[in-house]
Each structure stands twice: as structure tokens, then as C-alpha cells.
Amino acid sequence: MSDSHAIGETPLAVEHEARPELRHHFADEQQQRNAASLGMWWFLGTEIMFFGGMFCAYLVYRRIYFPEFAAASRSLDLIVGTLNTAVLICSSLTVAMAVRAAQMGKRKLQVQLLLATIFFGLVFLGVKGYEWSNKYKEHHIPTFHYNVVGGNGDLIKENSAFLGIDKVKNDPVKLAAREAEIQKHTQIFYSLYFALTGMHAIHMIIGVGIFSVITWMAWKGRFTPEYHTPLEIAGLYWHFVDIVWIYLFPLLYLIDRRPGA
Amino acid sequence: MFDNFPLWPAGASSHALPVDLLYIFLVALSAVMTLAIFATIAVFGMKYRRRHGREAHQIEGSLILEIAWSIIPMGIFIVIFGWGAVIYFHQRTPPRDSSEIYVVGKQWMWKIQHPEGPREINELHVPIDKDIKLIMTSQDVIHSFFIPAFRIKQDVLPGRYTTVWFRATQTGTYHLFCAQFCGTEHSGMIGEVTVMTPADYQTWMSGGNVVGSLAQNGQTLFQQLGCSTCHRFDVQGRGPNLTGVFGKPVLLEDGRTVTADENYVRESVLVPAAKVVSGFKPIMPSFQGQVSEEQLNALVAYVKSLSQAPAGAAGTPTSNPGTATAQPRD
Amino acid sequence: MATTAVLPERKNYINAEHGIRSWLFTTDHKRIALLYLLSITAFFFIGGFFALLVRLELLTPAGDLLLPDTYNKAFTMHGQVMVFFFLIPSIPAVLGNFLIPIMIGAKDLAFPRINLLSWYIYIAAGLLYLHCIFTGGVDTGWTFYTPYSSLFSNSRVIEAGLAIFISGFSSILTGLNFVVTVHRMRAPGMTWSRLPLFVWAHYATSIIMLLGTPVIAITLVLVVLERALNLGIFDASRGGDPVLFQHLFWFYSHPAVYIMILPSMGIVSEIVTCFSRKRVFGYNFVAMSSIAIAVIGFLVWAHHMFVAGISLYAALVFSFLSYLVAVPSAIKVFNWTATMYKGSISFSTPMLYALGFIGLFTIGGLTGLFLACLGVDVHVHDTYFVIAHFHYVMVGGAVLGYLGGMHFWWPKISGRMYPEGWGRVSAIIIFIGFNLTFFPQFVLGYMGMPRRYWDYSHMPEWQGLNVLSTAGASILAVGYLLPMVYFLWSLRYGKIADDNPWLATGLEWRTPSPPPTFNFDETPVVTWEAYEYDKMPLPEEVTLER
């Protein structure tokens, strides 16, 4: 991969030979570490903009279709969602602890904590899959027999006052029109729900992949107190994915959970 | 010379003059700035051309100049902004007592509905010197209603109404264009706006005049009503090519075969979904209520003529100013 | 002059290793720059081919050359190829990649392997887009407006959207590399205020690439999902809002135009200083204006939507901000002109391109004022006036800057001089051809000729100006082909270049032409300001070869 070079026996070259992790175009390890760190922070900035577009769409539609969004939000399983949030926060804890273990030179502990992180990540994804399959059964996935009026996934009965159904109950024409509207507007919520959580899940999967590699590197003893940059920046990425979820959870699950509303 | 190289559009509404004045100001300003920069560069280029032994004179900069050529342009820009904003505000605020006309854009025609009853397709007749507000929506994609001579343009959106207003100040006919790309026949979604004196407008309102043979009228209608956008003669369009169709058997989607006689043509215009030709989709809109009996006769006569004349002779699109127009609904 | 090398060839980045694997798996920023050069040139010709189809069709009022759907695909793919596969990568990925490390005294970019990945992502995106072209093409206009693109178009929208989505990652990674490199890899003594303006320009460009590109990425994802899964996010009949797409699209696509012009402005700063033998007038102002353009450029997107149905008050705000963003560009033009004052000016090919840039960018920028002006924009929006405006800034601006830069740094990149006479002739041909092509379009636009019209048979009076435009395009095409020919010619027959043929300042001119793989044998220590032309010898002996 690296081009042959004729730097020869300069002091710089000697130092590079002694520290193979130090890549040749960097003057010293600190520069390399700073560059990697800055690079990851900027990359996370781009990720904020990436999710930002969907958040923007969400905010626009939530404002104009609030009752439907609230009703649809209530159909999400709060207990399962909260559990999943806790799982993800734990995984961020284990990542931070793994970095600390690397700083202390404890190889075995690093590996255990990294494996725990991957485990929590997989649990999160599994629970997500469970939630999605529930949504499928309730006909809440757009284009797959979507229906929120009657049937498994009925949103009308429990939210009839909130959705303004009570007011038009006696007028069949108005009722049908309002139900059609609810069908349309809740579908936008679910479209965004699946787009957002789906995009988040893809990032989690990528994160699990990255951490598998990192765990293997840790097991091979590649990380020392002096050098554990890949672990640190992978940790940054994981924390970011966690933070995205911290925003998604209240926006999707907690729109309006007032009892009896 | 200017017939082939026209350089300025006609100005036929009360918006035209303010917009043109601002435009001319901007052109003048741009010309002055451009010439100034070009001339300065040319002068510097010649005066300070590389000459043996002469060195360049190093100058770091000048704060005063930097401030000057930031503030002064910004000042000019604020003037332009304000001027344009005032015109725009006026353009977007229809007068309270404007007459309203409804416009529906669809791929690829403009359907216009006067509140007094008459409907038009790809044509808009308006009286001069009256405030007219158009209330517009789209049936499918985003279009844009553009009359250059009036200096108005407004996107037409599905699921929403948008409005634009104008007061025509000159009689005549002017182009109407769709200005937002909308698919295959975007450049065919054009029409004509006719500004008339109040007397002529009244006459038009209460019934048009018809000239020419029945088949010729039919051909004009075929253009005006937008039939030719789908029933093309040059290439396969979204609807069947009607050359040589009349009097022959037609295979339908449901497997039946019928003869294309007068009744078939009439039914196809009024209830197109009743008999859909095999291989085509049931997308033709109905013209029920938009064509009178006389107009139906004209269309039938035209389709008949496509089986008598050699192919292409009757089919060439012509740009015919409106002579036959939709009759008011009974 | 001798055209065959008689000196033994020094080891440089080109002859350091041989074989195709050494190129395809390189991490040397200079080799990656050449990989990009080949790819973007190929796409330039593809985009140019589509332009040829458009201009030929418009020679006559009737739509008699192409079917309407084919024409719609031609202008769509012309726009998408030129914007996403040529203009956005061109200067940063070719000249930026090649020069930035050398200009700041570094051995390479911060992340050389990511640099190579960036190119591979670009190639993957490009191949996907080519597949889209050959399996039917896309006809939505480069702007992909919904609901036409999401629900109505019968063309390969998903494929085109995905290809552009992928190409965005190439852009993001390039920007990432540049930002970290400029922050962390500057040689000792190379402070921010000593950076060449080329580097400042690319830094500002990279900020936009990083923060803007992800937004179009997610927007295209939403359109693709909408189309593939029949969602209703942009479908009015299901409660969605097609105008939301426009906001999301333009949030990136407006800053994108600054991605296309800022690097070119950086090049102009380098060339004007060198061929006036002067430091730039108002270094701080030129540097800061790049940052200002990047920042304010994110605040003006809805000036593309004045008649789209936004509120009156939103329109007022965006119009005002659009005037604000024009000020830093004006400052640059004034500063470049002032740089020439009392200079020692020579009209080499790069200088001709730079001066052409200043003139044409001035016209393009001034016509932007027309479009920012609410009252006038209502009339000229979506007409040929807009087309003329953006071609003035993107071709008259960005492309001329790119060509000027290619000529200026060609000796450094290839070790050869291009033939100066042919260089000047081509520059003049391009200037004339360009103006003839696009100036008539301002008139056509005010007359009312809308964009994206396949047929104008009901308005035959427009033909005259359209014929002039097509005639200009054919002259422009000749102008573009000439440099291709003589650059290739120069690789074998061009005069061997000195290390610093232009006697320019800048660290890149203190390395051999072409440079060795690691740029510097020893890390330079910078103790001088940028553009210290008073310390350079007079180029008396430098005669520009014919």
C-alpha cells in the first residue's frame, strides 16, 4: 500500500521504523492523533446534517398534523422503547470504560468491555426488529397493508376525542373524510418513523461492524496506553449514534403521553 | 430586422412598466459596472504592462478602499432590494375587489373556469383594465402559470391554491406558458391570453362566433382542447393516433371489438372510460360539460376527415388564434 | 528549443513506481489527483455531449431532432453530469488534491487512504450513473422536483438519485481531508495568515462540502424511498408537501454553487498575483470573503423559490440575504483589479483565463442581482435568463478558473510546458464562443422563453437568438478541444519545465517539476508571507515560449 520512498536514514525515518503505527506523512504521534480526532469530529458534523434533513421534515409535519402524530406516537411501545434506550446508554458506558481500560493498558478488560458493547448493540437491534414486526402486525408500515382505522392497528378508538372524531361521529360524510385524513397523516408519521429509525439502525449495524474490527485489534494487543486512537474515534462514532437515539426517542415515542388525553 | 430578432417582450399589464423600469435600471447599473471593471483592467493591463527594468510597486491594501467598496455596493444593493420588494409586495397583494378566475393545471393543459360559466382550455379571455385574480391549483405535478407580457408567474401546486393577479392594459393576444418542468409535453402546455374591450368581452361571454367548415372547426378545437397533446400524429403518444381510425373496427381493452362511428367518437369525448382502446391506459379526461353539441359535431367531423385525407394532411398542428371557443354551459 | 530530454530523469512521483497497480492502489495525493483528472475529463465530455443534443434541437423551433422525452433526458443529464460529476469535484479533487499538501509544506494529506477511497466512491457513483444513462436515462431536470420525480416520471430516477447520493460521499471525504489537513498538517511557520489564498478558498469550500452535502444525501434518500416504497412524504394527495422537497434540495444546492466557484476564485488569486508580480491587494479581505461566502451562502436557499408558494415575508428575508452574499464576491473582484495596479503585468495563458474569469464572473454575478430582486425575478425565473446567469458564473467563472489553473500548474504536474501560443489562442476562442453562446440567452429569457422547452414552434421569433447561441456553442467546443490536444502533445514534445517557470511564490514552486513522491526531502520552515513578489527576481529572462 505505501509507495516506496528514498527517505533513507533520516531521523524521521528511524522514528517511523520504531513506531509502525505512526504513518509516514505525520511528524509525530500527537499530530496523527489530533488529525484523527479532528477528522472524526468533522465527520460527526456531517452526520448531524444528514439526520438533520429528516428531523426538519419531521418538525414540519409534526407542526401541521399534531393530533395524528400524537396518536401514532402513542401506538409505539413505551416500555420497550425505554428499555432499548437504557440498553444503548449502557453500551456507551461500556465503550467509555473500554477506552479507559486501554489507557490503563488492561487488554483483557478492554476486550470484555468491547464485547459487552457489541452485545448491547445487537440487543438494541434485536429489540428494534421486534418493535418493527409488531408494527407490521398492526398494519402500521406504509405500503404493507397500511391501515389505522379499525383492525389490529386501530388508532381511532383510543384517541377519538384527541383526533376530533367525537365531533364528527354523527355525520357519516364528515366522519369518512376525517378518517381518510387520519389515514394519510399518520402514514407520514410512520414513514418518517421508519426512515429515521431505519437510518439509525443502519448506523448501528455499521457501528457493530466497526467495533468487531476494533475488538479484534484489542484482542491482538494493538492498543496501548500510548496508542489507542482507533478505539477512541470509534468510540466517538458510537456515542454519536447513541445521542441521535436520545433525540429520536422523545421525538418519536413521547409526543403526547398525557394520560386520558 | 427586429421581426426575427425581437429584443423586448410586449408589456400588457399594469405590472409591466414597474418591472421594466427596474430591469432597465439593473441593466444600466450592470453595464456601467461591467464597463468600469473591463476598462480598469484594460487600462492597468496596458499602463502596467511588463517592461524591462520596471518593478511592480507592492501595495498591501487599503482599509478605506475595502470599506468603501463594501459599503457602497451594499447601499446600492439595499436600494435594489427595496425597489424590488415594493414591486413584489404589490404583485402578491391582489386588490380587494378583483374578479376571480379559477385555473387548473394538469399534464399538459391549462383549464380555465370563469365564474360566470364559460370554460376554456389553453385560452384565457379577459377584459381590459379590470383587476383579475387567478386562483390556481394542479391536478398532478407542479406547473407554473407564466404570461411574459403581463410579467406574472406563479407556481401551480397540487393540493393547494396559489394566486396571482393582474390588470391588463392593452388589447391583443399574448403567450401563456408553463414555466415549471412537468414532463413530456411541458413545452406543449402553452396557450393564449386574449385581452378584449369590455364590449367584446361581453359578446364573447354570451356566445362566440364560428367560422370555417365543421371539420376545420373540429381541427381547431382538437388543438385548443389539448387533444393533440396525447393523440399525436408524429409519434406514439399517450392516446391512439386517430389517423384512419374512423369507420374501422377498434379492439378494446376488455376484448370487445367496436366500430369507430359517430357515436363512438362522441362517447369517447364525453365518457372516455367506457371504451378504452386495447394497449392504452384509461387516463383520458372527460370533456362532459366542456363541449357543446355543436363542438362535438365539429370534433366528430374532424376525426372523420382524418380517414379521408392522406395521413398527415389534416394532422399538422397549426397555430390558430381562437376562433371557436367553449360555449357557456346550458 | 530542445524537446527531447537530455538530462537524466530525476525520481519524481510519476516515475517512482510503474504498473497499473501502483496507480490504482496509490495513496500519493498527486497520483490520486491525476486519477481524478482523467475521470472528470471523461465526464466533462459526456456532459458536453448532452449539451450538444440540446443546442442542436434548439436550432429550429420545431421539435424535429429528438423525441420530447429524449430531449428532457438530455438537459437533465447534461445538468447532473456537469454539476455532480464535473464541476463539484473538478478543482478540489484535481488541483486541490495535488497542491494543498505541497502549498502548506506537508508530505501528503491527513488521510491518504481516505483520499483514494474518495476516488473509488466517485468512480462507483459514476459507473452507476453511466448505467442509468445507458438503460434509459432520467428526465426530471437536474433539480429532481417532486412530485414529478417521485410519482410521475417514467425514467430511471432511483438509479440517478442513488448515483448522486454515492458521489456525495466522495465530496464529503475530500472536504474532510482538506479541513483536517489545513488544521493539522501545516509546516512550521506556515501560519493561517501566510497561507496561499488557494488554500483559504479550498478550506471554505470544504466547510460547505461537509455541512451541505449530507442534506442532499438524505433528500435523495427520501425521494428514492418515496418512489420505491410509494410513501407519501412529498405527495400532496396524501398530506405530503412537494415544496418541502424544494427547501431540502436547495439547502444544499445553493451552497453547492459556492463549492463550484470558490476554488476557482482561489486560483485567480494565485494567477493574478504571479502575473502582476505583486502581493494581492487586501489579503485579509480576500481570505475572509471566502469564509463569508461559505457562511452566508447557507442562508439564501429560498431565492430559488420566490414563486414556489413561499410566504411573502420569507421571500423578503431571502432576497435581502442574497444581496448580502453578493458583497464578498464584489470585494474579491475589486481586490483582484487593485492587485494589477502598478504591477508588472504579462498576458500569459493563465493570466488570460484569470482576466476572463474576472470579466465573466462580474457579468454573471451582476445578473445574480437581477435574480435576487423580487420584482424582476417573478418575470425571469425559470426562463433562459437564469440559464444564462448560471452558465456565466459556472462556465465563465468556474471552468475558466479551472483551465487557467491547469495551465498555470501544468509544468509542476507534468514537468513540461504547454505551447504558449496555442494556449492563448484557445483562451480567446473559449471567451468568444462562450459569450456568443450565452449572452443571447439573457435576451431570450427576458422575452419569456421558458427553460426546458423542447419545442418553440409557436414562437418562431425566438429562433434567431437560438441560432446565435448554438453557433457560439460550436466555437466553444473547439476551444475546449484544443487544450486536450496540446496538453497531451506536451507530455511528449513539450519543453522540459524548470522548477519555477513562472518565478512564482508558493511552496509548490520550491519543489522540482514534477515533485518527488513525498514532496519535500526536509520539512520546510516558513518565515515569509504569502506573495512576497518583491523578493522574487524579475522574470526578464523568462520569455513565454510560442
Verify that B39 and B185 share a domain, yes or no: yes
Same domain, B298 and B257: yes
Per-residue pLDDT of chain C (546 residues; tens, 9 = 90+): 445 555 557 889 999 999 999 999 999 999 999 999 999 999 999 999 999 999 999 999 998 999 999 999 999 999 999 999 999 999 999 999 999 999 999 999 999 999 999 999 999 999 999 999 999 999 999 999 999 999 999 999 999 999 999 999 999 999 999 999 999 999 999 999 999 999 999 999 999 999 999 999 999 999 999 999 988 899 998 889 999 999 999 999 999 999 999 999 999 999 999 999 999 999 999 999 999 999 999 999 999 999 999 999 999 999 999 999 999 999 999 999 999 999 999 999 999 999 999 999 999 999 999 999 999 999 999 999 999 999 999 999 999 999 999 999 999 999 999 999 999 999 999 999 999 999 999 999 999 999 999 999 999 999 999 999 999 999 999 999 999 999 999 999 999 999 999 999 999 999 999 999 999 888 899 999 999 998 888 766 445 443
Asked if B298 and B165 sit in the same domain, the reply is no
- Where a domain ends, among B179, B206, B233? B206
- Average pLDDT over chain A, rounded to whole? 90
Q: Clarify whether residues B254 and B127 are in a common domain.
A: no
Beta bridge partners of B291: none
- Is B222 a domain residue? yes
pLDDT per residue as tens digits for the range C452-496: 999 999 999 999 999 999 999 999 999 999 999 999 999 999 999
- For a pLDDT cut of 70, what percent of chain A falls above it? 92
A167 bridge partner residues: none
Chain C interface includes A142 (CB < 8 A) = yes
pLDDT tens across A19-68, in order?
A: 667 888 898 889 999 999 999 999 999 999 999 999 999 999 999 999 99
The CATH number that applies at residue B127 is 2.60.40.420
Look up cell 482599509; give the residue: B63
Question: B287 in a domain, yes or no?
Answer: yes
Return the closest-CA partner of residue B34 out of C440, C363, C439, C338: C363
Alpha carbon of residue A192 to chain centroid: 14
Please check whether residues B222 and B195 belong to one and the same domain. no
Structural domain contains residue B48 = no
Residues C510, C512, C514, C515: what is their CA dihedral angle, to the nearest 10 degrees? -70
Q: Name the residue with cell 420505491.
A: C228
Which residue is associated with the grid cell 485489534? A217
> Cell numbers at residue B276, please?
378504452
Instruction: Give the residue from B187, B206, B225 where a domain finishes.
Output: B206
Q: How far apart are CA B142 and CA B178, in angstroms?
A: 10
Contact A45 C184 (CB under 8 A): no
CA distance B108 to chain C (A): 13
Check CB contact of A59 with chain C, cutoff 8 Å: no
Q: Which domain holds residue B297?
A: 214-305
The residues, ordered by sequence, that sit 6+ positions from C254 with a Cβ below 8 Å of its Cβ are: C297, C298, C300, C301, C303, C304
Tell me the three state secondary structure of residue C60: coil
Yes or no: say if C488 and C418 are a contact pair by the CB < 8 Å rule: no
Which region holds residue C220: left if phi is over 0, alpha if psi is between -120 and 50, else beta?
alpha
B99-106/B109-113 β-pairing = antiparallel
pLDDT along chain B (330 residues), means of 10: 68 95 96 96 93 84 94 97 97 94 93 85 94 94 97 95 95 96 95 94 74 74 88 87 90 90 87 89 87 82 78 39 33
Residue B327 located in a structural domain: no
Q: Are residues B275 and B148 in the same domain?
A: no
Q: Note the pLDDT of residue C541.
A: 47
DSSP string, A182-228: HHHHHHHHHHHHHHHHHHHHHHHHHHHHHHHHHHHHHHTT---SS--
Q: Going by C-beta distance under 8 Å and a sequence separation of 6 or more, which residues neighbour residue B139?
A: B104, B105, B106, B158
Do residue B165 and residue B254 come from a single domain? no
CATH of the domain at B297: 1.10.760.10
Cis omega before residue B108 (within 30°)? yes
Retrieve residue B77's grid coordinates: 444593493
Cite the DSSP H helix spans in C236-348.
242-276, 283-296, 312-340
How many angstroms separate the CA of residue C207 from the nearest CA in chain A?
9
Q: With respect to residue B313, please indicate whether it lies within any of the assigned structural domains.
A: no
Q: Is A145 on the interface with C (CB under 8 A)?
A: no
Distances (CA, A) of B252 to A78, B229, B277, B281, C441: 56, 21, 4, 11, 48
State the angle between helix axes of C400-414 and C97-104 in degrees (0 to 180), rounded to the nearest 10.
60
- Whether there are 3 or more C-beta pairs closer than 8 Å between B and A is no
Residue range A213-223: mean pLDDT, rounded = 94
How many other CB atoms are found less than 10 A from the CB of residue C461?
A: 15
A3–C16 C-beta distance less than 8 A: yes
Nearest CA in chain A to C230: A143
The whole-angstrom distance between C264's CA and the closest CA on chain A is 24
Q: How many CB atoms lie within 10 A of CB C357?
A: 30
- Residue ending a domain, choose from B190, B206, B222: B206
Pairing of strands B143-147, B152-156: antiparallel
Q: Which among B45, B85, B179 has CB closest to C450?
A: B179
Given a contact cutoff of 8 angstroms between Cβ atoms, the answer to whether C44 and C86 are in contact is yes
Residues B88 and B154 in one domain: yes
Which domains, and CATH codes, for chain A?
40-253 (1.20.120.80)
Question: Within this chain, do residues B142 and B87 fall inside the same structural domain, yes or no?
Answer: yes
Give the best residue of B37, B154, B160 to mutate against chain C (max C CB count within 10 A): B37
B168 & B151 share domain:
yes
Name every chain C residue with its beta carbon within 8 A of the beta carbon of A188. 232-233, 238-240
Nearest-CB residue to A188 (from C111, C214, C233): C233
- Chain A nearest-CA distance from C257, in A, is 18
Cβ of C211 and A39 within 8 Å? Answer: no
Q: How far apart are CA B317 and CA B111, in angstroms?
A: 20
Instruction: Decide: residue C527, CB within 10 A, 0-12 exposed, 13-18 middle, 19+ buried.
Output: exposed
If DSSP codes are grouped into helix, strand and coil, which group holds residue B120? Answer: strand
Residue B317 lies in a domain: no
Report the residue from B23, B44, B87 with minimal CB separation from C374.
Answer: B87
- Interface with A, mutate which of C181, C238, C248 (most A CBs under 10 A): C238
* Closest residue in A to C228 (Cα–Cα): A143
What residues of C are in contact with residue B187 (Cβ under 8 Å)? 63, 68, 450, 452-456
Concatenate the DSSP letters of all residues of B189-256 into one string.
Answer: --EEEEEE-HHHHHHHHT-----S-HHHHHHHHHHHTTHHHHS-SSS--SS---TTTTTSEEEBTTS-
Q: State the amino acid at position C519 in one-letter form.
A: N
Chain A residue numbers touching C24 (CB-CB < 8 A) = none
Cβ–Cβ gap B57/C338 under 8 Å: no
Q: How many CA atoms lie within 13 A of C124 on its CB side?
A: 13
Please state, for a pLDDT cut of 90, what percent of chain A lies above it.
72
Residue B101 and residue B98: Cα distance in Å, rounded?
9
Predicted-complex ipTM score: 0.93
Task: List chain B residues with CB under 8 Å of C278.
Answer: 56-59
CA distance A74 to C187: 58
Same domain, B188 and B225: no
Phi-psi label, residue B291: left if phi above 0, alpha if psi -120 to 50, beta otherwise: beta
Cβ distance A155 to A72 under 8 Å? yes
Contact A161, A74 (CB under 8 A): no
Q: Alpha-carbon distance B303 to B283, whole Å? A: 20
A30 touches chain C (CB under 8 A): no
3-state SS class at B164:
strand
How many other C-beta atoms lie within 10 A of the C-beta of residue C161? 27
pLDDT at residue B214, rounded to an integer: 74
Query: Is the pTM for the entire model greater than 0.90?
Result: no
State the cell numbers at C235: 405527495
Of C16, C180, C214, the CB nearest to A35: C180
B226 and B94 housed in the same domain: no
The dotted CATH code for C40-235+247-535 is 1.20.210.10
B226 CB-near residues (< 8 Å, 6+ apart): B108, B109, B121, B122
Whether B102 maps to a domain, the answer reads yes
Chain C residues with beta carbon closer than 8 angstroms to that of B177: 448, 450
Of A7, A51, A57, the CB nearest to C233: A57
Q: Kindly determine whether residue C248 and residue A187, on different chains, have CB atoms separated by under 8 Å.
A: no
Count of structural domains, chain B = 2
Cβ-nearest to C240 among A7, A10, A188: A188
Do residue C369 and residue B30 have CB atoms under 8 angstroms apart?
yes
Chains that touch B (3 or more CB pairs under 8 A): C
C-alpha–C-alpha distance, residues B100 and C176, integer Å: 55
In a domain, B82, yes or no: yes
How far is the alpha carbon of B122 from chain C, nearest alpha carbon, in Å?
13
